[in-house]
Amino acid sequence: MSKELAKTYDPKEIEERTYQKWMDKNYFRAEVNRDKKPFTIVMPPPNITGKLHMGHALDNTMQDILIRYKRMQGYEALWQPGTDHAAIATEVKVTNMLKDKGIDKHEIGREKFLEHCWAWRDEYGRTIINQLKKLGSSADWSRERFTMDEGCSKAVEEVFCRLYEKGWIYKGSRIINWCPKCQTSLSDAEVEHEDQNGFFWHINYPIVGEEGRFVEIATTRPETLLGDTAVAVNPEDERYKDLIGKMLKLPLTDREIPVIADEYVDKEFGTGCVKITPAHDPNDFEVGKRHDLPEINIMNDDATMTDKCGKYAGMDRYEARKAMVEDLDKLGLLVKVVPHTHAVGTHDRCHTTVEPMIKPQWFVRMKEMGQAALDALHTGDLTFVPENYGKTYEHWLENIKDWCISRQLWWGHRIPAYYCEECGELVVQRGGAPEKCPKCGCTHFSQEEDTLDTWFSSALWPFSTLGWPEKTPEMDYFYPTDVLVTGYDIIFFWVIRMMFSGIEQTGKSPFHHVLIHGLVRDSQGRKMSKSLGNGIDPLEVIDKYGADALRLTLMTGNAPGNDMRFYWERVEASRNFANKVWNASRFIMMNMEGKEIPESVDVQTLPAPSKWILHKVNELAKDVTENMDKYELGIAVQKVHDFIWDEFCDWFIEMTKPTLYNGTEEEKGRLLWTLREVLSTALKLLHPFMPFITEEIYCTLNPEEESVMVSAWPEYSADRCFREEAATIELVKESVRRVRDMRTSLNVPPSKEAAMYIVSEDDGVLARFKAAEAFFGTLARASAVALQKDKAGIADDALSVVVPDAVIYIPFSDLVDIEKEKERLNKEVERLEKEIARSNGMLGNEKFISKAPADKVQAERDKLENYTRELEQVRSSLAKFEGR
């Protein structure tokens, strides 16, 4: 062989070179090929602000495993990559970058600011893509897309206009989630609810015309009192029936508000009286609509109080809260303050407490599209792995609300809506502003300032990346995609939106399977986060141990939907496995040097061990294929790992040594063919999980082949099913294990040889042992093996090991030098007796007992107990030698 494996496995030397080879050979490229069946995965587009973290590493490793597997199976496998413009995150980064340079974005204006955003994207936006390449991701980078490239932007405009024309996109004033820091609206999915410690402030509202009588309300946000337009009670609440229709004096204001009856109020919660603030609470908003209540917005966009708030105008919402509570107390209207823990909505990006506000925004009507997405699950067109996540999907869709899609940002897809500057007429259309107003004929228009929610564009990702709305060959061939791989924390954000968008725009579900994975947590089970400082950088792991070791670590024990813990010890174990594969491969290749190895052999004529290992790897190929098709990637890789480490390296390679060292040239050639065949098959099965090391070994082992990644995936063959020979070798393995256990229990040195007598009345069992007797010398240190039907000629002191349908006897004297062992045991008795005497002396000394620390006295008692127990064991062992 012209090429050799290096003496030691060095992932740094291999990985960059190997990845470049794959790129140069264009192996990742997928083409429209009607002669092959397509298989498509669309990469969840990472944010251009992002850097590779463990979640990305897990998600993309799983996708890469599936795409490599399908590529080897002969599919035209497309892994469609790309990045997301991440509107809020990018705008914040660019704004802060400009601020550091003394530039205010509002001073330079929208167009100039967008120039800076594009420049930032060009400089930093590909960082994570380059990092994904280090992981070994075999995506078709020639097709890389960006959510704001020309094609994706055209798709966004087309979808917006289509939905608007159907009446499913509208502009209206509704209550939305508002981030005072980022100063933009948010969808419900972008709001995280976290428990915070707060208070219930109990406040008396005076009843107009009834001096000294009050209605007591309890609120967690007293500052919103200024926006109250009613107090509601349950119509069935006997306590307050006489108050319905009466007016209350709103504290700290000169306004009066009515008492209304609404079933929304829970009689048992709080005081049973609820302040209604339609402009600052989503539930109150609905109550307000039912009772035609006024909506009073009392906060500015930065969460300071508006001019409507009198003396509190201009105060921050929490500053106003403090001042108002003090004033209520002075007026004698503050009844009590009760500690209360409650869920508070925060922006998932900046973690600022979200403020519900009424604002004119653009919305998508969800009723019809939500139902279509539900129907896909119910008909089986969409399935989740594991299945229980279908319930999560179902629950969210059954409770879906209209989607607020407008954002008060500059970076993003600007809404294609235009307002006539003369009459205010609204026109939504493709391709830019109208030439003239359809209502008044004016030719001057202003475009809507708002941009679209980032998720609006990424919802189109499975088809916009393939050229839709154009009728491209790629769209026709690769769509719908086959599987989406994503974490359980993103079902709401993305999966559902892709489903209803895909069905609505293309008439087809965008994918048929959703493979859900869990989170990668730290060794203590905590979520990795910047605040905890417990994040592990995947690039650090790759630099230290290699990408293959990281990938194997992420997949070992991985089960769909379940979280996993990251341990450095597991990475070391993965690296050790890589070393094991490398060293075993080197051993095989060193023995192949200069040997005549047949191109093919009649496997039916091979000896039992070779048939056994071919049978095992044949069964492995079938099992792993079944696991992969069920998305049981963790189970699949564990089976491959165990086969290579245990069956192939620890058993079969050891079995081959007698033939490799002492066999005929023909026997060696046939054995080396088997070794190469099995190793090549195992490398193929391992390749999707550990692509770099398998490529290096496979191409060195098979120099006539281009690459393992374009080789054929192993398939089960009935011709390589050798159950009889497999049973023979399994019997030998079990026998060897039990002999080894016995030797270990007697502290027999590993190099010590001993004769073995295998006794069985069954000729078939003896025949099995006969076929494999040569291996007992290598594997069980047998100096000789005798096969017989009875115990004739076997010494009475022989030790026995029972195996299925046979008993193995080993002369005691072959294992143990009796005189030396008796001498050793007698010395041990003498040592232990001295220790017991010393210990008894100390414990019998009153001064020691009274003055020594209690823990020291107890330690000495524990020692005495251990010495006594050990002495009994040694004397018992010694007794066995008496008479020998």
Residues placed in the known binding site for ATP: 530
At which residue do the structure tokens 């069946």 appear? Answer: 37
Q: Which of 151, 147, 157, 156 is nearest to 82 (CA)?
A: 147
CA dist., res. 502 & res. 510, Å (int)? 5
CA dist., res. 445 & res. 427, Å (int)? 9
Edge-first strand listing for the sheet containing 214-219: 214-219, 191-206, 334-347
CA dist., res. 244 & res. 120, Å (int)? 60
Q: Does a cis peptide bond (omega within 30 degrees of 0) precede residue 811?
A: no
* Helix-then-strand count for the chain, H and E: 29, 29
Q: Which of 618, 600, 620 is nearest to 676 (CA)?
A: 600
The structure tokens listed for 53 are 């973290």
CB 186 within 8 A of CB 177: yes
Can you say which residues are annotated as belonging to the binding site? 530
Q: Which of 681, 644, 680, 675 is nearest to 552 (CA)?
A: 644
CB 586 within 8 A of CB 9: no
CA dist., res. 73 & res. 632, Å (int)? 17
For 744, phi then psi, to 5°, come to -65, -40
CB 760 within 8 A of CB 790: no
CB 356 within 8 A of CB 404: no
Report the half-sphere exposure of 537 (CA within 13 A, side-chain side). 10
364 forms beta bridges with 169, 403
CA dist., res. 140 & res. 144, Å (int)? 7
For the beta carbon of residue 698, count every other beta carbon within 10 angstroms: 23
CB 14 within 8 A of CB 696: yes
Cα separations in angstroms, 873 against 543, 820, 880: 51, 18, 11
Q: DSSP letters along 644-681, please?
A: IIIIIIIIIHHHHHHHHHHS-HHHHHHHHHHHHHHHHH
Q: Does a cis peptide bond (omega within 30 degrees of 0) precede residue 282?
A: no
Q: Is the dihedral of CA 490, 495, 501, 505 positive or negative?
A: positive
Q: DSSP letters along 49-73, please?
A: T----HHHHHHHHHHHHHHHHHHHT
Cα 39 to the chain's mean position, in Å?
Answer: 22
Report the half-sphere exposure of 567 (CA within 13 A, side-chain side). 12
CA dist., res. 147 & res. 462, Å (int)? 11
Amino acid letter, residue 391? K
CA dist., res. 598 & res. 689, Å (int)? 30
Helix (H) or strand (E) holding 635: helix 633-642
Q: String of b and e for 435-469 (b: at least 16 CB within 10 Å)?
A: eebeeeeeeebeebebbbbbbbbbbbbbbbbbbbb
The structure tokens listed for 237 are 């609440």
CB 229 within 8 A of CB 294: yes
Characterize the bridge pairing of strands 145-146 and 451-452. unpaired
For the beta carbon of residue 142, count every other beta carbon within 10 angstroms: 11
Amino acid letter, residue 658? P
Running DSSP on this structure, what letter comes out for residue 493? I
